[in-house]
């Protein structure tokens, strides 16, 4: 299944089918919980390059802990040490890691923009996966389902990459390369569900309208590889390096320039800011036309 939100496709998965879920994030957790609710009782393997599964929300909410922007770090390593030290201090006071990561999320855009380009790249390369599993959390009820299935031996998380796949006698034979191992393994499944989500760095291939803008030189990918390059006003940056006045980018595609921009609060705030920029730009264009006439 290329579309994990196809409810009919999920319902067609038999209770005894062995299932490979590609991806171990939030969508993966939802798919596994849905299969469990539908009565699935056979083996599920959840696969990603690191094999991390998302953490659960805190049972009780708490106020964010930590100030990471009064003296923003210009080193990803130093920032990581500050976060870890804050978590240890919170634990000594009876708190867990959740409110510390909540503070990092709230301050994420300022933290990101204070880092030089090379440090942003280091952060994405080495820490993005760990950030994602702590940032994007699952409900405790879903976590309970995953824990139970792991304990029953009906769910396994694997750190591996897919080398190849083929259909054999109505089933799907998948060749895997376990992380940091030179050898390959082969396993067979009845169903495969892809939950890897949108690939923003691949937007020119997956979105024809944006691909056309790219071919016209009006937009380009950001240097981090997270989406489209934008300037401080939210305008798309052209291939010449200059902003394109009439094209604004709002939402996750702008996160390479903006920073934390995946959750609803951040996306909403960013959309409001871009709307204000567009309103100001339209007013400027109207004034120019009036002056010309």
pLDDT digits (tens, 9 = 90+) for 12-22: 999 999 999 99
Nearest CA to 158 out of 131, 140, 185, 136 is that of 185
At 198, the pLDDT band (50, 70, 90 cuts) reads: low
Which token pair is 242?
A: 């200059």
Q: Which superfamily is assigned to 7-55+137-194 in CATH?
A: FAD/NAD(P)-binding domain (3.50.50.60)
**Cβ atoms within 10 A of the Cβ of 2, count?**
10
Is 184's pLDDT higher than 90? yes
**Structure pTM?**
0.84
Q: Are 1 and 194 in contact (CB under 8 A)?
A: yes
Which token pair is 185?
A: 């393994």
Give 120-171 pLDDT, tens digit per residue: 999 999 999 999 999 999 999 999 999 999 999 999 999 999 999 999 999 9
Is 7's pLDDT higher than 90? no
Give 254-286 pLDDT, tens digit per residue: 999 999 988 888 999 999 999 999 999 998 888
Overall average pLDDT of the 33-53 stretch: 95
How much is the mean pLDDT over the chain?
93
Which token pair is 30?
A: 């939802």
Domain ranges of the chain: 7-55+137-194, 76-131, 200-292
């Amino acid at each position: 299944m290329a579309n994990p939100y196809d409810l009919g496709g999920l319902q067609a998965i038999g209770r005894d089918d062995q299932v490979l879920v590609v991806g171990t994030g939030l969508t993966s957790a939802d798919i596994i919980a849905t299969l469990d609710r539908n009565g699935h009782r056979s083996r599920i393997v959840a696969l990603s390059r690191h094999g991390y599964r998302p953490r659960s929300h805190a049972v009780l909410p708490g106020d964010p802990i930590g100030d990471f922007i009064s003296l923003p770090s210009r080193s990803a390593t130093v920032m990581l040490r500050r976060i870890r030290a804050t978590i240890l201090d919170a634990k000594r006071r009876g708190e867990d890691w959740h409110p510390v990561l909540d503070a990092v999320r709230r301050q994420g855009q300022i933290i990101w923009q204070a880092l030089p380009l090379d440090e942003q790249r280091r952060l994405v390369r080495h820490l993005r996966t760990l950030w994602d599993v702590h940032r994007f959390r699952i409900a405790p009820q879903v976590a309970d389902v995953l824990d139970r299935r792991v304990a029953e031996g009906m769910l396994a998380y694997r750190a591996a990459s897919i080398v190849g796949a083929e259909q054999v006698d109505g089933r799907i034979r998948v060749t895997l390369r376990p992380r940091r191992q030179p050898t390959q393994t082969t396993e067979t499944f009845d169903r495969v569900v892809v939950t890897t989500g949108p690939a923003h760095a691949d937007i020119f291939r997956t979105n024809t309208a944006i691909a056309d803008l790219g071919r016209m030189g009006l937009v380009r990918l950001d240097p981090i590889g997270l989406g489209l390059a934008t300037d401080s006003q939210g305008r798309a940056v052209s291939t010449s390096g200059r902003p394109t006045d009439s094209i604004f980018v709002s939402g996750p595609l702008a996160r390479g320039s903006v920073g934390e921009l995946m959750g609803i609060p951040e996306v909403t705030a960013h959309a409001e800011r871009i709307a204000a920029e567009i309103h100001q730009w339209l007013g400027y264009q109207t004034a120019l036309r009036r002056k010309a006439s």
